Amino acid sequence: MSCIRVIFSEEYNKKISNMTDLYRVLPEEMDDLVIKLGQPRYRADQLLQALYHESPKKMSDLHQIPSAMRDALVKDGYTIGSEDEVHRVVSEDGHTTKLLLKFDEKTLIETVLMQYSPTQDKTHPRSTVCVSTQVGCPMGCVFCATGQMGFEKNLKAEEIVSQVLHFANILRQRGEHVTNLVFMGMGEPLANYDETIRAIKLLTHPRAFGLGQRSITISTVGVIPGMDRLADENIQVKLAISLHAPNDELRKKLVPTAGPHSVGDLIAAAKRYFKKTGRRVTFEYALIDGINDSTKVALELAYILKGNGAHVNLIPMNPTAGGFKRPERKRVLAFQQILRNGDVNCTVRVEKGAEISAACGQLRTDMIEKIR
């Protein structure tokens, strides 16, 4: 695809780099900030409450904060970053909403809300936001529209946070809220490690957005140093590895950047993660018609995962521009059965929103020429 790049003036870049978005300031840092401004500590809580639960778009929307303090924040280079929603598509059943958000001329990303019917004892639907962590992606998976864009840039923590808050605001207006978060949008979250972790801290801190850590899943295509680092963080998030193949030959065809890490390395890293955290890793497997969905491949996958207590999540793939197809339903179920027969726990993900370009990166690809 063609890619339009915008050259920014040095002056503009300098101005941006000197500003700090309040959505990247951790609660402890907010305490230090208000004290530095000569304000009592409770002002930090007022700021956090307004930022995370009232959706201010600009400094003057912070009505609880004295105007002198707001002026001091502006003077010191603090801003409230706000994203523009440039496109919205809702699936026919209303359960999937996909947005294109623009943060600046260089930053246009997708984010998705997937809703599932409430379970018996709950009155609200499960509302899962799927966030992006990069513009484009360096991993280059051949079946992924984002992978085919190439890599443009890492997102900042505040840009990751804003995707969740944007949907939280939409849901709040109908009496609902964000219940879950998956890092499965554009980009490889562990290749943007520090900003991803900062975003998780902001979204889970009780004084900020307050989402439960166990409601979050990070999906990686296999950045092993990042997985090992994550195991050492005191964060109770779930980890999923996008495996897609049971052997290196096939995996390298689907994930060309997989080179340095073998399938065996990934399984070993998953075991280390479990040993350190007590949390089992899920293996995601995008099922592609005629590529990685044969009986032979299923048997091989069952063989390498048997006895690991592994859980496999099969994802019948959404069609993308690459011409890859979703297998027929009976093939998906046969693949699942082979894994189960091999004593491997296996579920099939309910795919949502295929008719609204819900595959990762697809909407941005479809829309970019129209809106830039």
Q: Judged by CB, which is closer to ligand SF4: 140, or 246?
A: 140
- Residue 186 binds ligand SF4 (CB under 6 A): yes
Taking the least distance from each CB to ligand SF4, the nearer of 215 and 320 is 320
Residue 146 CB, shortest distance to ligand SF4, in Å, is 4
Candidates 13-21, 139-147, 293-301, 350-358: pick the segment binding ligand SF4 (CB under 6 A).
139-147
Cα angle value 166/167/173 (rounded, 5°):
100
Interface with ligand SF4, residue 227, by CB under 6 A: no
CB of 147 to ligand SF4, least distance (A): 3
Interface residues for ligand SF4 in 84-123 (CB under 6 A)? none
Query: Which residues contact residue 2 at a Cβ distance below 8 angstroms, ignoring those fewer than 6 apart?
Result: 369
Q: Which is nearer to ligand SF4, 160 or 221 (CB)?
A: 221
Give 147 or 246: the residue with its C-beta nearer to ligand SF4.
147
Cα 217 versus chain centre, distance:
8
Q: CB under 8 Å to 278, separation ≥6 — which residues? A: none
d(CA 216, CA 131): 11
In this chain, which of 97, 111, 115, 146 binds ligand SF4, going by CB under 6 A?
146
Give the shortest CB-111-to-ligand SF4 separation in angstroms. Answer: 13
Place of tokens 């609200």: 124
Q: What is the DSSP letter of 60?
A: G
Q: Which residues pair with 127 in a beta bridge?
A: 115
133 binds ligand SF4 (CB under 6 A): no
269 binds ligand SF4 (CB under 6 A): no
342 is a site residue for ligand SF4 (CB under 6 A): no
- 226 lies in the site for ligand SF4, by CB under 6 A: no
In angstroms and rounded to an integer, the radius of gyration of the C-alpha atoms of the chain is 21
Q: Would you give the binding string for ligand SF4 spanning residues 351-370, x where CB under 6 A is met? A: ---------x----------
Which residues are designated catalytic?
110, 360
Tell me which DSSP letter residue 240 carries. E
SS3 state of residue 237:
coil
Distances (CA, A) of 78 to 35, 116, 156: 15, 38, 15
Closest CA to 189 of 131, 146, 264: 131
Question: With CB under 6 A as the contact rule, which of the stretches 79-87, 117-125, 162-170, 180-188 interacts with ligand SF4?
Answer: 180-188
Q: CB of 140 within 8 A of CB of 253?
A: no
83 binds ligand SF4 (CB under 6 A): no
**DSSP 8-state assignment for residue 106:** T
Residues that bind ligand SF4 (CB under 6 A): 137, 139-141, 144, 146-147, 186-188, 221, 360
